[in-house]
Chain A
Amino acid sequence: MKKILAITLSILMLFTITACGNGGSGSTNVGSADISADNTVTPPPDSDGAELSGTIVVWCWDPTYNIFAMDEAAKIYREINPNFDIEVVDMPMDEIQTTLITTAASGTLNNLPDIFLLPDYAFQKNVIQFPEMFFDITDSGIPFHEFASSAVANSVVDGRNYGVSFGAGTTIFAVRTDYLTEAGFTVDDFTDITWGQFIELGKVVLEKTGRPMISTSSGGDFISFMLQSAGASLFHADGTPNIANNSTLHDAINTYLELINTGVLLQVNNWDEYTTSFISGAVTGTISGCWIIGSMQTAQDQSGNWAVTNMPRLDIPGGTNYSNFGGSSWAISSNSENAALAIDFLKHTFAGSVEFYENILESSGALPTWLPAGTSNIYMEPQPFFGGQAIFTDIVGYTEHIPAIITGEFWSEVSVAVTNAVVNILGGADITVALQEAEDTVIFQMGR
């Protein structure tokens, strides 16, 4: 009896342990998903969607922004196609990314949704690493030329489109007008200027009000959107990193150092401290993606004291006052049985309905990268929180001018390496040496 119990317990244990560890031999032909090797097949375009029917499953995050937009899009599309239904699942960006990794590695694609959202900085990386998951929508009839070119570029790989852009990350300089008035300036003084001019004005504001102009918790992000404003990327066109000898990067880092050394830019430790700094009035304003206005609008007691203008530019050839920070795009799963319906849905809403963008503006503050939406009268309405400024028209106007750049497969790795280099440079390291180290690190991570 003793032996039987012991053997039973041991077998039970062995079973559970092997169950945990088994399958490590790699992904084989498992799962019921029959993924076509040719995921570039384009579904038949449907002009009015009347013949298409089914339920679209969507994975995205943020109930007040992306999920809200999806639900509103569904309402618009149902008017065209009553046979359409939608199930929107709230999944944080990190969970979607983890799911894509586990799904790709295990080869079990049959649990993917029809549509999923990815942040723009990670879109190309995912398409390059998991091409079997993405539907090629280049020839689907979606009017990509009507979107801001910088936004479309984020989801293009080898000249093929894999995503429909949503949610502009157009960079803005949002600033407290009451503090500027205290220092003797207006917003116009900060419009269409260079970083050099910004620093000089910032020194005066700091002296008169005691407040730095702006703050950041991530030097890497800050330098990234400085670079994009000049149309510069951290990659060459062939995908190799462009760090050590990138003259624009040198200019951006030197500008960043000057911002810190003059006290015009306040460095903080994390995102919460960053939002706190401008909401609490510790700094005069902030430079970030336009979605940041949602954070400042939580402080309704500051209504009327904010204004928006464009960001400063690098004083080099090709430098502009426009850049991008954030934004995301909808992808269609290659495994979707409703791919044609999903495409038709996106075509008639996110890529085709001014009414849709009007409906989501007030509640979510989501701004379009689909440029025809910017012609709506609603965007021209003055915003009381921003002192009556028609900020949405202004921001959509900025969006058109953002230079497109290559983000590539290893954007996250490069971004981390540059952030570390900036920290080292701030600690006294030589800029050339630090950037060469960053490039070597990335080349090692890329396995080249």
Chain B
Amino acid sequence: MYAFLSVASFLSVFPLYWTVVSATNSSSDIIKGSLLAGTHLFQNFYHLLELYNLSTALMNSTLNAVVLTVASVIICAMAGYGFEAFHSKAKDKLMSILLLSMMIPFAAVMIPLFQLTANMGLLNTTIGFILPSLSTAFLILLFRQSTRSFPYEMIDSARIDGLNEISIFFRIFMPTMKSTFAAATVITFMSAWNSYLWPSIVFRGDPSAFTMPMLIARTIAGNVTDHGVVMLAALIATIPTIIIFFFLQKYFVEGIAGSIK
């Protein structure tokens, strides 16, 4: 059993180790299969900065991911809460229709979505990027299911104390369900941070709007690939999601399990 878990752990961790080590090696060393740390970290970093606008990509990715995460989590939480707290048969049917949207692949809606965004004059804007992902059926479902375990007595007593419905959501529901919010934050942030296809369409032709996944795509687009630069860019792009995940790990597990405070 331990042997199996050890092998599984090794297989899971090895790609990350290899990325870290490769970021310090030259391209030819990586190709030759070097698995030890090298001395080319600063050289790779220099080439990365020389050829690509790393700081802009990092800032854009951060801005897009943070704005989308905050807006999406609040909207989906309100929707999920609304579906359950103000439950009716009609809303159940609406929820079923909503869940069907999870089955439509992005490629199927990509062109009408682009047309819509272009017509609204939102190409090359953060709003154009976040609008299609602002509400997702998965997040609404997550909040709706979590709301089922929420103690309704708290809502009733809040109403007796004179809180209006909006205040109940923000002052009672949100603090109580922070595990679910943490899980939703991690999922949305990672999804927004790693998003590539839609940003590459909506931010087309605007170098000042490039994101980290778009930058990585550029590092492997040439005739000659500098693997050291690719690995360093990939490593830098991974760091924020790792930080977010470790920071919210405890709540993430609880949130996915559906627990409340």
Which residues does A use to contact B, with CB under 8 Å? 1-3, 5-6, 9-10, 12-13, 16-17, 19-24, 27, 30-31, 57, 59, 61-65, 89-95, 98-99, 101-102, 105-108, 111, 113, 272, 275-276, 279-280, 291-292, 294-295, 298-299, 326
- Distance A298 CA – B29 CA, assembled complex (angstroms): 10
B223 touches A291 (CB 8 A): yes
Question: Can you list 29 residue pairs at the A/B interface with Cβ under 8 Å?
Answer: A5-B82, A6-B82, A12-B78, A13-B98, A16-B75, A16-B131, A17-B135, A22-B112, A30-B119, A59-B205, A61-B218, A62-B222, A64-B222, A92-B218, A92-B220, A95-B200, A95-B217, A101-B111, A105-B115, A106-B111, A107-B115, A108-B119, A272-B227, A276-B33, A279-B32, A291-B224, A292-B223, A298-B28, A298-B226
B123 at the interface (CB under 8 A from A): yes
A65 touches B222 (CB 8 A): yes
A20 touches B101 (CB 8 A): yes
For A1, the chain B residues whose CB sits under 8 A away are 164-165
For B109, the chain A residues whose CB sits under 8 A away are 20-21, 24
A102 touches B114 (CB 8 A): yes
For A113, the chain B residues whose CB sits under 8 A away are 205
- Distance A276 CA – B205 CA, assembled complex (angstroms): 34
What is the interface of chain A mostly: helix, strand, loop, or mixed? helix
Distance in Å from the Cβ of A52 to the closest Cβ of chain B?
Answer: 22
A21 touches B101 (CB 8 A): yes
- Distance A237 CA – B226 CA, assembled complex (angstroms): 41
- Count residues of B near A (Cβ-Cβ below 8 Å): 55
Contact A23 B135, CB 8 Å, known A63-B51, A272-B31, A279-B28? no
Q: Mark B209-227, 1 if CB is under 8 A from A, else 0.
A: 0000010011011111011
Contact A63 B118, CB 8 Å, known A6-B91, A20-B101, A21-B112? no
B68 at the interface (CB under 8 A from A): no
B94 touches A10 (CB 8 A): yes
- Distance A111 CA – B197 CA, assembled complex (angstroms): 17
For A101, the chain B residues whose CB sits under 8 A away are 111
Which residue of B27, B52, B201 contacts A63 across the interface (Cβ within 8 Å)?
A: B52
For B116, the chain A residues whose CB sits under 8 A away are 19, 22-23
B135 touches A10 (CB 8 A): no
Which residue of B27, B201, B218 contacts A90 across the interface (Cβ within 8 Å)?
A: B218
Contact A64 B91, CB 8 Å, known A92-B217, A95-B200, A106-B115? no
Q: Mark B228-253, 1 if CB is under 8 A from A, else 0.
A: 00000000000000000000000000
A99 touches B98 (CB 8 A): no
What is the interface of chain B mostly: helix, strand, loop, or mixed? helix
Contact A57 B205, CB 8 Å, known A21-B101, A23-B112, A30-B119? yes
For A108, the chain B residues whose CB sits under 8 A away are 114-115, 118-119
Distance in Å from the Cβ of A124 to the closest Cβ of chain B?
Answer: 22
For A102, the chain B residues whose CB sits under 8 A away are 110-111, 114, 201
- Distance A170 CA – B219 CA, assembled complex (angstroms): 24
> Most A CB atoms within 10 A — which of B79, B91, B206, B221?
B221
- Distance A79 CA – B135 CA, assembled complex (angstroms): 53
For B31, the chain A residues whose CB sits under 8 A away are 272, 275-276, 279-280, 298
B86 at the interface (CB under 8 A from A): yes
For A57, the chain B residues whose CB sits under 8 A away are 205
- Distance A251 CA – B56 CA, assembled complex (angstroms): 53
Residue of A nearest to B115 (CB): A106
Distance in Å from the Cβ of A163 to the closest Cβ of chain B?
Answer: 19
B28 touches A91 (CB 8 A): no
For B205, the chain A residues whose CB sits under 8 A away are 57, 59, 89, 91, 99, 111, 113
A5 touches B32 (CB 8 A): no
A64 touches B224 (CB 8 A): yes
B112 touches A16 (CB 8 A): no
Distance in Å from the Cβ of A324 to the closest Cβ of chain B?
Answer: 14
Distance in Å from the Cβ of A157 to the closest Cβ of chain B?
Answer: 24
For B51, the chain A residues whose CB sits under 8 A away are 63-64
B204 touches A111 (CB 8 A): yes
A89 touches B207 (CB 8 A): yes
Q: Mark B26-62, 1 if CB is under 8 A from A, else 0.
A: 1110011100000000000000000110000000000
